[in-house]
Amino acid sequence: MPDRPVSPAATPNDPLVSVVVPVLNEQDNVAPLIAEIRAAMEPVCAYEIVYVDDGSTDRTATVLSELRASTPELRIVRHSRRAGQSAALRSGVSAARGRLIATLDGDRQNDPADIPKLLAVWQESERAGRPWIMVTGHRVNRRDTWAKRQASGVANAIRRTLLRDDNPDTGCSLKLYERALYLRMPYFDHMHRYLPALAQREGASVAIVPVNHRARESGASKYNNLGRALVGIPDLVGVIWLIRRAPRGLDSREVD
Ligand SMILES: Nc1nc2c(ncn2[C@@H]2O[C@H](COP(=O)(O)OP(=O)(O)O)[C@@H](O)[C@H]2O)c(=O)[nH]1
Ligand SMILES: [Mg+2]
């Protein structure tokens, strides 16, 4: 039996899915991405959109506030200063009301039309009695620069060998999982790159779904290859240690 936390009972007004979008300086991507998320989610289930503005210095905050009036599903969380993508994800999941969290990048490189596919995989697993699963996207046709694709390929190969997490694309932000699963994981900065391994550490299984990937059309990338490599090495050592110290075989559940 997997080690599962006891979740608080949901209220009837809670959405099923909270779409959490961490952003930093994505002013021109906010409105089109929200429109795409709504189009993808509207026919599928009750949902909310939680944008986490990580201290943007462009018009991201203004655009979000303007859109709120016409978008009842939209909620905005704001950091007073930049705290990083993992910190933003954590603030978004903390604020979320859905049983399920779906995440994607705020630069429109991930396609919201893929969220229902990930949800269908989760729902099928739940029907089979296995809701403790992280569904992760695999960007099969990655639309990034040659240098980024090469660096990502090397980083993924090293990570895969050392963590044995058997995941071709752990850095893909498009993911779907129970909020309770995320809340069980230990927090550290840059953890968003290791979520499948951290989910397995909590006894969850991982399903990999091929997803669309698009070129960035507006704004600029916030990461460079050297920066990623410099934080990546100590992070990997830390994750290996966390996995060695994983909680094992505990089955805790609420009883009548
Ligand atoms: N909250 C937050 N989001 C960030 C930060 N850096 C990047 N992002 C967001 O993470 C996503 C991916 O970042 P991006 O710069 O496109 O990375 P790339 O696709 O790997 O080049 C985008 O939605 C960014 O707005 C950060 O420091 N804080
Ligand atoms: Mg990007």
Structural domain including 115 reads: 17-244
Concatenated DSSP letters of 129-186: T---EEEEEEETT--S-HHHHHHHHHHHHHHHHHH----TTTT---EEEEHHHHHHSP
Residue 15 has pLDDT above 90, yes or no: yes
Query: Per the domain annotation, does 4 fall within a domain?
Result: no
Query: Per the domain annotation, does 1 fall within a domain?
Result: no
pTM, entire model: 0.92
CATH code at position 236: 3.90.550.10
142 CB within 6 A, ligand 1: no
Query: Per the domain annotation, does 151 fall within a domain?
Result: yes
For residue range 142-179, what is the model confidence (pLDDT) as tens digits?
998 998 888 888 888 888 888 888 889 998 999 999 99
Closest-CA residue, ligand 1 atom 27, reads 84
For residue range 94-126, what is the model confidence (pLDDT) as tens digits?
999 999 999 999 999 999 999 999 999 999 999
Helix (H, G, I), strand (E, B) or coil at 223: coil
Q: In terms of DSSP bridges, do strands 175-178 and 100-103 run parallel, antiparallel, or are they unpaired? A: antiparallel
60 CB within 6 A, ligand 1: no
Query: Per the domain annotation, does 86 fall within a domain?
Result: yes
Are 136 and 167 a contacting pair, CB within 8 Å? Answer: yes
Query: Per the domain annotation, does 129 fall within a domain?
Result: yes
Total residue length of the chain: 256
The alpha carbon of 170 is separated from its chain's Cα centroid by a whole number of angstroms, namely 10
* Element spanning 101, H or E: strand 100-103
Lowest-confidence region among 192-196, 205-209, 218-222: 218-222
Query: What pLDDT, on the 0 to 100 scale, is given for residue 9?
Result: 54
Amino acid (one-letter) located at 137: G
Banded pLDDT at 61 (limits 50, 70, 90): very high
Residue 6 has pLDDT above 60, yes or no: no
Query: Per the domain annotation, does 7 fall within a domain?
Result: no
Query: Per the domain annotation, does 82 fall within a domain?
Result: yes
Concatenated DSSP letters of 62-77: HHHHHHHTT-TTEEEE
> Total domain count for the chain?
1
Name the residue of 85, 110, 214 to mutate for ligand 1: max ligand atoms within 8 A of Cβ.
Answer: 85
Query: Per the domain annotation, does 5 fall within a domain?
Result: no
pLDDT above 70: percentage of residues in the chain? 95
